[in-house]
Amino acid sequence: MNALLSVSDKTGLIEFAHSLHAFGVKIISTGGTAKTLADAGIPVTKVSDITGFPEVMDGRVKTLHPKIHGGILAVLNNDEHVKQMQDHGIEKIDIVVVNLYPFEQTAARDGVSYDDIIENIDIGGPAMVRASAKNHRFTTIVVNPAHYSTVIAHLLTDGGVPVSFREQLAMEAFSHTAQYDARIAGYFAQHLGRTFPDETAIPLRIDQPLRYGENPHQQAVLYGTFTSIFRQLHGKELSYNNILDIDAAARLSLEFEEPTVVIVKHNNPCGVGSGSHLVEAYQKAFATDNVSPFGGIIAVNRPIDVAFANEVHSLFAEVLIAPSFDEDALAILAKKKDRRLMVVDPQKLRNASRSDLRSVAGGFLAQESDAILYNQADVRVVTTIKPTDDQRDAMLYAWKIAKHVKSNAIVYASHDRSLAIGAGQMSRIDSARIAVRKAQDAGVDLTGCAVASDAFFPFADGLLQAAEAGAACVIQPGGSVRDEEVIAAANDKGLAMMFTGTRHFRH
């Protein structure tokens, strides 16, 4: 039995090779892998000894040879294949252990040159992986060191690796090379400034299995690097819905520089508040809606201390998210065993996504992430009455929140807190009415506040609803064919109004 070992990731390599050698397997290897094995005292045959041809072109060509690929691809129950192996002195290669040049890690390094990145595109490795996976009935392919022990166990117990396991390894091998090629294609697309190339693949690994999806009858899994951005300190496992809400809450918290608390329920903010410290901010956020926060998600943009932990501990919140937790605060909050406590890396979150994907029948929609708030050059006051500095601050606060509310979105706010939020209605006037009703239910006075609309008012009725509720100023994108009618209504009601020129639909 022969095994070809050629790996960049040498995790577990020595132990695995020792076990193969002890089982009587002849080990064939290349370059740095061969040296590592020889230095460990493991007998190794170089690929060049098999091919009769030296490694050339700085190692670019070494395994691309019939005596290697013939040994990998031979169909052993095909008499003609076996005869050709005998005629040309080709030995069967039963096990191929390959992982690829570290292209992703190289491309991510600061200051790395274009030439170095290109040199870390593996050619021979993917060819061997794909050949072995294709011929999995007769060749075992291993791309993940985690499987070394299982392969050895099968050799010791069964005398070989069963076909059922080889099929699993083949599936993993094709996924491995597909992901590798996708990352290379992604690098070239970025290098060439192509946000949306004509063909694309999404290179993702399972980050975390999930018990189920939005509902118990739906299977689900988390792909990507979510757990490198959000780290769980305490509580039961995250659900599909938790993950959506965690992302929504944490992203909204990034919009604010001052200490801010965001409360989210079902992917919509139900309260946002800012203050000199988190307790003050939380009290403002909770006052917006003192019903919806139960079972919700709370995100903050400052470390959680004991004072804040004591303030929120009595509330049934599914998740608390912060850049960090003081030890004493963690001890308080961890008393509720099911409450999830998450640490977020704000910088990683800011850099996490350049595009949004949504599944549709037969494919995906892709778009750039909504990473801007507005373009300052496009913002203009359109009413006779000009807003005061305080009103500008309140409009901006409302606008930050409206960006993260499901359309149609209406947000009433002061300069440091949300006052009422209307989300996700089929008409903008209904969102405005719902927000007003929620403010009344919560005992919140809207007199003198700002109101933000994520898109233009198609008619004056939504603006009139805001005026009747007590709003003193309005911020919206503008762009309606009836803008002049809406501006006239604002002037008539004594409202100051700004157009941003930027829409924030969120479906």
Which residues carry out catalysis?
134, 266
Cα separation, 385 vs 178, whole angstroms? 60
Contact 27, 37 (CB under 8 A): yes
Contact 411, 402 (CB under 8 A): yes
Cα separation, 194 vs 209, whole angstroms? 32
Contact 271, 286 (CB under 8 A): yes
User: Which among 148, 143, 204 is positioned nearest to 171, based on CA atoms?
Assistant: 143
For residue 34, which amino acid is it? A
Cα separation, 476 vs 395, whole angstroms? 9
Cα separation, 92 vs 132, whole angstroms? 12
Per-residue 3-state assignment (H helix, E strand, C coil) for 29-91: ECHHHHHHHHHCCCCCEEHHHHHCCCCECCCCECCCCHHHHHHHHCCCCCHHHHHHHHHHCCC
Helices 13-22 & 31-39 angle (0-180, nearest 10): 70
- Alpha-carbon Rg for the chain in angstroms: 30
**Contacts for 325 with CB less than 8 Å, ≥ 6 apart:** 233, 303, 304, 309, 333, 341, 343
Alpha helices in 305-460 (DSSP H): 306-312, 327-333, 346-350, 389-402, 428-442
Cα separation, 454 vs 410, whole angstroms? 7
Contact 173, 72 (CB under 8 A): no
Q: Tell me the CA distances in angstroms from 313 to 239, 277, 301, 333, 405, one per residue in order.
A: 21, 17, 18, 6, 26
Q: Report the 10 Å Cβ neighbour count for 348.
A: 12
Contact 222, 207 (CB under 8 A): yes
Burial class (CB in 10 A: 0-12, 13-18, 19+), 360: exposed
Cα separation, 394 vs 446, whole angstroms? 12
The residue assigned the tokens 């392969």 is 151
Cα separation, 439 vs 312, whole angstroms? 22
